[in-house]
Amino acid sequence: MSLRDRYLYGGGLWHLPRLALLPLSLLYPLIGAWRYRLATPRRFPFFTISLGNLVAGGTGKTPLTIVLARLLTEHGLKVGILSRGYGGSYREPYLVVTESTPWRECGDEPLLMARRTAAQVVVSRQRIPGALYLQQQGVDVVLLDDAFSNHKLVKDFEILLLDHRRPLGNGLPIPSGLLREFPSAIARADLVIRTRVEEHFAGDAPAAHYAMSCSADRAFPISAYSALGNNRAFFEGLQQMGYRLERTLALPDHGVPTDDQLEALSAGGHPLVTSEKDHLKLSTHWQPRVMPVGLALKLLNTDAPLENLLQRIKRHQER
């Protein structure tokens, strides 16, 4: 168990730091609720779909955004994706992201979405400038990345992702836990999708199963690193595929390994793998030496909700 997991879920003395920060933790979601009530979101002519989570950390928003963007494009809609571009160095009010945009400018996730979809991807820290640009482009639908707790724009449809294994983290708000808001905020969502369910998920709730694929031969052990919101899920996924992890390196979300760290990981002579998002941040020296792990998303029990979404978009266009 990592130090982070010990702090969040450990027993015994690990209760003490969580309890010490509990007064501050109760303040965090109260501020969020206050901001929600006072917000005056701006409406745009395009249909907006918010994708977000209730807890800090990775729940699979980017893969779902990619799948949804492709689905909407297949239905003849002109799609835009609006992200804050976390970690990007851009200083403009907004930045249009293309397949060749340096990831350090726009952030790793927007670049991945630009490469994997036909959508117009824009990063904008304040969101409104980016939304104005997308309006000028005549988009029909805009996917608002990580926007469940952001209220700058009117959201016509809200999708909330909850990790099936730990939907509320340890049940405590930040910084004692991972909750950004109180669980009552779930009621705002039009569609709740449980992510990281098993392939043969038993139940009728909307869910998403993530299947990983890698070109490394499963007969050999591998070394792996990732800089995701949930590194543990990445490593567990590799093990479930049948790989034996000889060495691993877990970095903070959006982090980049040093050359020394990569050399140490590959010193054993085993194939070195990482996530697709992390692979695009590697230098040209390292990219051929590291194999990316692809991620395929399979949606379960979502036919009716997605059909409802498409009908709502159609009604919006007919106004």
* Residues in binding site: 55-62
> Cα–chain-centroid distance for residue 88?
16
Query: Could you tell me where the DSSP H helices lie in 117-200?
Result: 128-136
Residue 304, strand partner residues: none
> Cα–Cα distances in Å, from 95 out to 60, 68, 91, 299?
24, 22, 9, 31
Exposed, middle or buried, 248 (CB in 10 Å: 0-12/13-18/19+)? middle
The owner of tokens 């005549």 is 138
Question: What's the residue count for the chain?
Answer: 319
Q: Please report how the helices 108-116 and 61-74 are oriented relative to each other, as an axis angle in degrees rounded to 10.
A: 30
Residue numbers in the known binding site for ATP are 55-62
Rounded Cα gap, residues 131 and 43, in angstroms: 10
Strands (E), 182-311: 191-195, 207-213, 222-226, 245-250, 272-275, 290-300
* Whole-angstrom distance, CA of residue 248 vs CA of residue 278: 14
